[in-house]
Amino acid sequence: MNEKNLCGLLVKNRLMAQLGINAFRYEKDKRKRNGKIAMTVAIFICLIMVIFYSAIVAYGYAYMGLGELIPTISLVICSMITLFFTMFKANGDLFGFKDYDLIMSLPVSVRTIINSRFINMYLWNTFITILVMLPMGIVYAVFTKPYFGFYIMWPVGILLASLIPTTIAAILGAIITAISSKFRYASTMATILSILLIVLLMVIPMTFTQSDSGIGSLIDSKTGNIDKTAFSAIAPIISGSLNRLYPPAKLFSSALVEHNIISFLLFGGISIGWYGLFVYLLSIKYKQINSALTSHISRADYKLVTLHQGSMRTALYVKTTKRILKSTICATNLLIGCVLSIMLAVAMVIAGPAKILQTLEISNSVAILNNTAGYVIAAMVCMTNTAAVSLALEGKNIWLIKSLPIAPKILYDSYLLTNLSFTVPTSFICSILFCISLKPGLIGGFLLIITPQVFAFFTAVMGIMVGNRLAYYDWQDEVQLIKQSMMTMIGILGGLAFVILCGALANTGIVPVSPGLLTFILDILLVVLTAVIYLKEANRPIRA
Amino acid sequence: MLTIKNFSKTYKGDKKAVDNISLEVKEGDIFGFIGHNGAGKSTTIKSVVGVLDFEEGEILINGHSVKKEPLVCKQITAYIPDNPDIYEHLTGIQYLNFIADIFGIPSSIRQEKIKKYADAFEITGNLGDLVSSYSHGMKQKLTIISAIIHEPKLLVLDEPFVGLDPKAAVTLKEIMHELTAGGSAIFFSTHILDVAEKLCNKIAMIHHGKLAFAGTMEDLLKEKEGGSLEEIFMEIVNHEL
């Protein structure tokens, strides 16, 4: 079999594992099969939402007379999504994957292995790119009536779009894993570096778009009508910001808007050349990087010291907390809500609420922020729902939990404690910082502190409920569990949706009660609901 | 110590993995559980230790039902699985301390036991390293130590000798004798028939989910007129074919 076919075989094998095709075809356990089907349906709904959202965004720009920005914006959106989704998959997908030993022992060249792993990432990212760029391209075609070259360049552009960001993400992932592999606590180091990188990647775009684009002056304050001429005038400003943020977007935009074939050829050449260079350079050091990742520091010089007795609950709590913190995938994905909320709270104190709202282009909303700040903190912090996945994270170790004399309540308590250890202090710190920034008064401050705490407890208990109903232990890699499982989706998005629902109920005037009083009533109701769910769930047997 | 009465386990698809088996393991017994791959050994063992749920029959540990009083049973039982999948994010000593906390072992006793068994298996120096850096054999040794530090009344092992070096295998056998001398009972599955013949005082053979023999090793060898355990096992397997 030639190298091309071998590469195809490796890609096919990996896709079969990721898509769980055999589970659909051969799984006899109805529960598992139904779980897969439910998950597929949920993902399908999310994908339709992505298509719909992309089309709406493109329509919005076209409607405002900014149609020429659509190529730039679509490419920047796809590239950002690709970058964020691929960066933390590099370790596990490209490096240090589970079947590394098996694959490397086969008569396949290193370059073919890298190609197969990279093509796999590329296929997924191109799939997302299609979901974003295809509807945006259709809207662009309908509104701007482009020249014939568009119908060739746009589809080719879709196929090329994810090459550069996938490569950049793989390089960043490789750098993080290479640096962290030098440390004794490699995974902790990888987590810290990954979170720093996320923060950096979020701050960089803000510096490119922070200049006042004058959005506020584009809407007539008296009539509320959009001034289309003014909008057209700011198009170059937005375009310039995005091009500075992601230079290849300039080439793509120039090709489509200015009909510049050379720019398109350059865009294609850079994308393919960049990828080729990456594969060539990586193939030289690939074995070395993987060896560093899979080898462990072993001191073998331990001397027994005094061992202290602790309670069962504490032992389980410490074990679960370490499990989450020592896994880069878990820590970066599950704790990002806490990190972002702290970032926002610190920014609120340093820059002030008016400036932050202006950056987010929602100025004149300081009064609303006073009422909703508690919900804003809750929404971000509740995205950290480790309780929902803690049981499933036991994975192949579940035999231990089941064979040890552990009462379900104690196990669930330990999962709750772990979750609350992240969310409660974060919520409290954010609340204090928001209080300093907003100066909400005594009652406002009380609600600002209490509301996120109530939601933190509620979402953690909900996480236990969800986790014990949907947990499965035969997952192949953590990425699959953390990023693609029903538990995480419900755990994170369910909590978020609940916070938004309560926030909207309290602040939109649907109920003729003041926002503060309504928030207080909702808090009390939520405390009662949390207690009821906890008591009901506490003694539920551990899921088989 | 362990009583299995009319135990059956059916997996999805109506296949009976274990079909109406009954046996009894008494204090001081080293009870070997023998059978071919897929015979139902691991299913039985996992049901005994509470990892697998079951519908038919009854399993009692020290007179307590595994189904009705699981925590009481687990408090006096230890299980060593065929594959030592243990927490890789902990160091060896952290893992042992975790298990000791679960069983509420006082500080001084856990220290003494860990030292004794870690020295016996020659892994004391490695206890400060992450479990993820351990070889299969080292993980197996750590699992064994974690299972015996609380002096279980019933020790259940699934293929305990797989992956152990010869010296560690001898150490394990010594520990098994030591435990039974102290009144504990041991129930273990194995494919190594020589080990079973020399180590066990009682034996059960399971074939396609059904019990082919259960009794003392002495009775079995007498019944089959001087044949070795390997010959007897082959005879049973071939007879069924």
Question: Which of A29-33, A84-88, A194-198, A274-278 is the most confident on average?
Answer: A274-278
User: Across the interface, do B105 and A397 touch by the CB < 8 Å criterion?
Assistant: no
Of A232, A266, A294, which one is at a domain's C-terminal end?
A294
Please, what are the domains in chain B?
Answer: 2-76+153-240 (3.40.50.300), 87-151 (no CATH)
> Rounded CA gap, B180 and B25, in Å?
12
Ramachandran class of A109: left when φ > 0, alpha when ψ lies in -120 to 50, beta otherwise: beta
> Rounded CA gap, A351 and A203, in Å?
14
> Does the beta carbon of A442 lie under 8 angstroms from any beta carbon of chain B?
no
Are A376 and A516 contained in the same domain? Answer: yes
For residue A485, what pLDDT is reported?
81
Ramachandran class of B63: left when φ > 0, alpha when ψ lies in -120 to 50, beta otherwise: left
Tokens of B7: 């135990």
For residue B241, what pLDDT is reported?
47
**CA of B115, closest CA in chain A: separation in Å?**
7
Cβ-nearest to A302 among B71, B86, B128: B128
> Does the beta carbon of B87 lie under 8 angstroms from any beta carbon of chain A?
yes
- Whole-number percent of chain A with pLDDT over 90: 32
Integer-rounded Cα Rg, in Å, for chain A is 25
Q: Is A302 among the domain residues?
A: no
Give mean pLDDT, residues B98-122.
92
Q: What pLDDT, in 10s, does the model give residues A488-513? A: 888 888 888 899 999 999 888 888 88
> Rounded CA gap, B62 and A244, in Å?
74
**What is the phi/psi pair of residue B204, to 5°?**
-135, 140
Greater confidence, A481 or A241? A481
- What are the chain B neighbours of A300 within 8 Å (beta carbons)? 125-126, 129
Cβ-nearest to B127 among A302, A400, A403: A302
Q: Is A306 among the domain residues?
A: no
Q: pLDDT grade, residue A275 (50/70/90)?
A: confident
> Does the beta carbon of B93 lie under 8 angstroms from any beta carbon of chain A?
yes
User: Across the interface, do B110 and A307 touch by the CB < 8 Å criterion?
Assistant: yes
Please give the residue range of the domain that contains residue A251.
3-294
Q: Which of A342-351, B56-65, B170-179 has the lowest mean pLDDT?
A: A342-351
Tokens of B239: 């007879």
ipTM exceeding the 0.90 mark: no
Q: Are B57 and B6 in contact (CB under 8 A)?
A: yes
For residue A350, what pLDDT is reported?
84
User: Across the interface, do A403 and B49 touch by the CB < 8 Å criterion?
Assistant: yes
Are A150 and A73 contained in the same domain? Answer: yes
Q: Is A544 among the domain residues?
A: no
**CA of B40, closest CA in chain A: separation in Å?**
17
Q: Are A370 and A518 in contact (CB under 8 A)?
A: no
Tokens of B158: 């699934």
Q: pLDDT grade, residue B60 (50/70/90)?
A: very high
> Does the beta carbon of B116 lie under 8 angstroms from any beta carbon of chain A?
no
Cβ-nearest to A403 among B51, B90, B125: B51
Q: What pLDDT, in 10s, does the model give residues A389-416? A: 999 999 999 999 999 999 999 999 999 9
Greater confidence, A90 or A201? A201
SS percent in chain A: helix, strand, coil, step 5: 80, 0, 20
- Tokens 């010869």 belong to residue: B166
Taking CA atoms, A515 is separated from A160, A353, A443, in Å, by 50, 20, 12
Q: pLDDT grade, residue A361 (50/70/90)?
A: low
Q: Give residues 311 to 330 of A whose Cβ lies within 8 Å of B.
A: 311-312, 314-316, 318-319, 322-323, 326-327
**CA of B221, closest CA in chain A: separation in Å?**
34
- What are the chain B neighbours of A187 within 8 Å (beta carbons)? 89
Question: Which of A5-9, A98-102, B70-74 is the most confident on average?
Answer: B70-74
Are A33 and A118 contained in the same domain? Answer: yes
Q: Give residues 16 to 35 of B whose Cβ lies within 8 Å of A.
A: none
Domain count, chain A: 2
**CA of B119, closest CA in chain A: separation in Å?**
11
Question: Which of A14-28, A302-316, A417-431, B44-58 is the most confident on average?
Answer: A417-431
User: Across the interface, do B111 and A315 touch by the CB < 8 Å criterion?
Assistant: no
User: Across the interface, do A405 and B89 touch by the CB < 8 Å criterion?
Assistant: no
Are A288 and A332 contained in the same domain? Answer: no
For residue B59, what pLDDT is reported?
94
> Rounded CA gap, B107 and A305, in Å?
11
pLDDT higher than 70, residue A216: no
Cβ-nearest to B50 among A308, A319, A403: A403
Are A234 and A345 contained in the same domain? Answer: no
Of A294, A327, A347, which one is at a domain's C-terminal end?
A294
> Does the beta carbon of A25 lie under 8 angstroms from any beta carbon of chain B?
no
Are A330 and A257 contained in the same domain? Answer: no
Give mean pLDDT, residues B1-22.
85
Q: Are B143 and B87 in contact (CB under 8 A)?
A: no
Q: Are B33 and B204 in contact (CB under 8 A)?
A: yes
Give mean pLDDT, residues A468-497.
83
Are A505 and A367 contained in the same domain? Answer: yes
Annotate A478-534 with DSSP letters as a single string: HHHHHHH-HHHHIIIIIHHHHHHHHHHHHHSSSSSS-HHHHHHHHHHHHHHHHHHHH
Q: Is A148 among the domain residues?
A: yes
Q: Is A42 among the domain residues?
A: yes
Are A225 and A317 contained in the same domain? Answer: no
Of A294, A324, A346, which one is at a domain's C-terminal end?
A294
> Does the beta carbon of B129 lie under 8 angstroms from any beta carbon of chain A?
yes
Residue from A181, A302, A327 to probe the interface with B (highest B Cβ count within 10 Å) = A302
Are A149 and A257 contained in the same domain? Answer: yes
Q: What pLDDT, in 10s, does the model give residues A126-184? A: 999 999 999 999 999 999 888 888 999 999 999 999 999 998 888 888 788 778 777 77
> Rounded CA gap, A369 and A371, in Å?
5
**CA of A321, closest CA in chain B: separation in Å?**
11
> Rounded CA gap, A313 and A319, in Å?
10
User: Across the interface, do A306 and B107 touch by the CB < 8 Å criterion?
Assistant: yes
Are A31 and A74 contained in the same domain? Answer: yes
Are A237 and A106 contained in the same domain? Answer: yes
Burial of A254 (0-12, 13-18, 19+ CB in 10 A): buried
Q: What pLDDT, in 10s, does the model give residues A41-75? A: 877 888 888 899 899 989 988 888 888 889 988 99
Integer-rounded Cα Rg, in Å, for chain B is 18
For residue A207, what pLDDT is reported?
66
Q: Is A303 among the domain residues?
A: no
Are A224 and A327 contained in the same domain? Answer: no
Cβ-nearest to B50 among A187, A326, A402: A402
Q: Are A17 and A125 in contact (CB under 8 A)?
A: no
- Tokens 């009976």 belong to residue: B16
For residue A230, what pLDDT is reported?
61
**What is the phi/psi pair of residue A87, to 5°?**
-55, -45
Q: Is A78 among the domain residues?
A: yes
User: Across the interface, do A299 and B13 touch by the CB < 8 Å criterion?
Assistant: no
pLDDT higher than 60, residue A536: yes
Cβ-nearest to A28 among B12, B79, B89: B12
For residue B228, what pLDDT is reported?
79
Nearest CA in chain B to A410: B102
Q: Is A284 among the domain residues?
A: yes
